[in-house]
Chains A and B, each alone.
Chain A
Amino acid sequence: MLQLDFLDDLRRMNMRQLFYQLLNFAMIVSSALMIWKGLMVVTGSESPIVVVLSMEPAFQRGDLLFLTNYEQEPIRAGEIVVFKVEGRDIPIVHRVMKVHEKEDGSVKFLTKGDNNNVDDRGLYANGQAWLNRKDVVGRARGYVPFIGIVTIIMNDYPKFKYAVLAGLGLFVLVHRE
């Protein structure tokens, strides 16, 4: 039964057509990549879309946040920012509690998650008591509820992620336009 009929199309192709199938696949991946990089440039943030993990009741787990990171905009208490602690990869989405600003524009600020009882000093690097401007990935501008659950599932079950990506990739490679 497993006759691999779907590969027939590929078998009948010459070198040029096979190369075009590969390019087709590459172009789809590239389009996604270029849109992401384009968003990075436009918003000024290195990670313009993040998935929220712990900010109830403002955001539920799995919400998708859109960020901007313009240099001119000041950070103010009460705003929701996304920051990265030095040495760690995961961006954290919390609210700014206190801000100290010097005349030259440099800032130090303290954050706390709405759903946490204590401020984030426990999360910062050893000996660090305040965050700087450079730790900020961006400020929340808008959000789409719930869609991020897919990303959370894919990260919790990496095999699922690879299976989906492999399946999609295979489909594009084999399917003739």
Chain B
Amino acid sequence: MSKKSMEENPPKVNKWDGNALKNALDDAVKDVLLTQFSYVESHKLLDGRLIISSVAVGFSIFALVWDWLYPFPQSRTVMCVCVVSYFVMMGVLTWYTTCLERGIFCTALNKDAAGIDPDDVWNASSSLKRFDNKYHLRLTQRMGKSGKGKEAHTTLTVENFFDETGRLLYGAVAKEVLRLHSDVENKKN
């Protein structure tokens, strides 16, 4: 599957679909962070979500199979345990998405060239309210060595980053991201 880079072939979305717009902008920001700087993407956040979901689905499949092998009245206790565990996992997932993830769609690591010092962690998070056109982008940097954090955010008007057909204007997004990035880097702690 040969993928043209996003810069050469920016995605075209339904410009009236707020969700699609946000996803396209998120993807573009992520692409800029990973290609313009030599950062490496960290999948830990998404992996956590995948694991929690998989465990929940695992309980559900187990309940399905068990009930099929040992029809209802006997399977009562196992059913009870599975159902409760499933909804507990759903609760964990909700907590994970609300408290831990908080709109972060990209975690990029600035690896130390010598490989000795711990990495700097860059987090990009965004939000776009329903029926709104203001895309809020927040970039944070946590220094590996000192543990200190810096952040900067900006609000973009969605119309400025898509043309009339709904194609993403990659250049405009890149400009904003680079500006935000140097804002964060230059901030004195």
Is A46 located at the chain interface by the 8 A CB criterion? yes
- B72 and A19 within 8 A (CB): no
A23 to B54, CA, bound (A): 7
Residues of B8-52 contacting chain A, CB below 8 A: 11-12, 19-20, 23, 27, 43, 46-47, 49-50
1/0 contact string of A151-177 vs chain B (CB within 8 Å): 000000000000000000000000011
- A46 and B72 within 8 A (CB): yes
- B50 and A23 within 8 A (CB): yes
Using C-beta atoms within 8 Å of the partner chain, give the interface range for chain A. Answer: 20 to 34
Residues of A within 8 A of B79 (CB): 37-38, 40-41
Residues of B within 8 A of A177 (CB): 19
- A176 and B19 within 8 A (CB): yes
Using a CB–CB cutoff of 8 Å, the interface residues on chain A facing chain B are 8-9, 11-12, 16-17, 19-20, 23-24, 26-27, 29-31, 33-34, 37-38, 40-41, 46, 176-177
Q: 6 more A-B contacts (CB under 8 A) besides A27-B53, A46-B71?
A: A11-B1, A12-B11, A12-B27, A20-B53, A30-B61, A41-B80
Using a CB–CB cutoff of 8 Å, the interface residues on chain B facing chain A are 1, 11-12, 19-20, 23, 27, 43, 46-47, 49-50, 53-54, 56-57, 59-61, 63-64, 67, 71-73, 76, 79-80, 82-83, 86-87, 90
